[in-house]
Amino acid sequence: MLANLRKEERSLLYYITAFLAVGVLVLYLGQPEFNTVYELALGSGYKLPFWWFVVILSMGTMAGFWLISAYWRIAGFKCDPYLMPITASLTALGLIFLFRLRPQYAERQFVWLLFGLLALVIITTLLRKMDWLEDYKYIYVAAGVILLVLPIFFGREQYGARSWLDLGLFQLQSSEFVKLLLVMFLASFLSENRRVLSAGSDQLLGISIPGIREYGPLVVMWGISLLILVFQKDLGTALIYFCTFLAMVYAATARMFYVLAGLLLFSLGGTVAYYIFDHVQARVDIWLDPWAYSSGKGYQIVQSLFALGSGGLFGSGLGQGLPGLIPAVHTDFIFSAIVEELGLVGGCAVLVLYMCFIFRGFMIALTARNDFTALLATGFTALMGLQTFIIISGVIKLLPMTGVTLPFISYGGSSLVANFVLLGMLLNISHEVNQGNETEY
Phi, psi of 53 (to 5 degrees): -60, -45
Q: In one letter, which amino acid is 355?
A: M
41 inside domain: no
217 inside domain: yes
232: which DSSP letter?
Answer: I
pLDDT score, position 83: 96
234 inside domain: yes
350 inside domain: no
pLDDT reading at 428 higher than 80: yes
Instruction: Give the residue from 294, 335, 354 showing the smallest Cα distance to 87.
Output: 354
34: which DSSP letter?
Answer: G
Distances 333 to 292, 398, 408 between C-alpha atoms, Å: 20, 14, 14
Residues of the domain holding 149: 130-276
- The pTM for the full model equals 0.91
CA-to-CA distance for 273 and 284, rounded, in angstroms?
Answer: 11
Instruction: Give the residue from 261, 240, 258 showing the smallest Cα distance to 190.
Output: 258
Angle ∠(388,410,335) on CA atoms, nearest 5: 65
Q: What is the pLDDT of residues 21-78, one digit of tens each?
A: 999 888 877 766 555 666 666 555 666 677 778 888 899 999 999 999 999 999 989 9
pLDDT reading at 440 higher than 80: no
pLDDT tier at 3, thresholds 50, 70, 90: low
383 inside domain: no
User: How many structural domains compose the chain?
Assistant: 1
166 inside domain: yes
Residue pair 2/78 in contact by the 8 Å Cβ criterion: yes
248 inside domain: yes
> Higher-confidence residue: 149 or 233?
149
Dihedral sign, Cα of residue 99, residue 105, residue 111, residue 114: negative
pLDDT reading at 161 higher than 60: no
52 inside domain: no
Q: What is the pLDDT of residues 252-307, one digit of tens each?
A: 888 787 788 778 877 887 787 788 777 778 888 888 888 888 888 888 899 999 99
Dihedral sign, Cα of residue 435, residue 422, residue 66, residue 43: negative
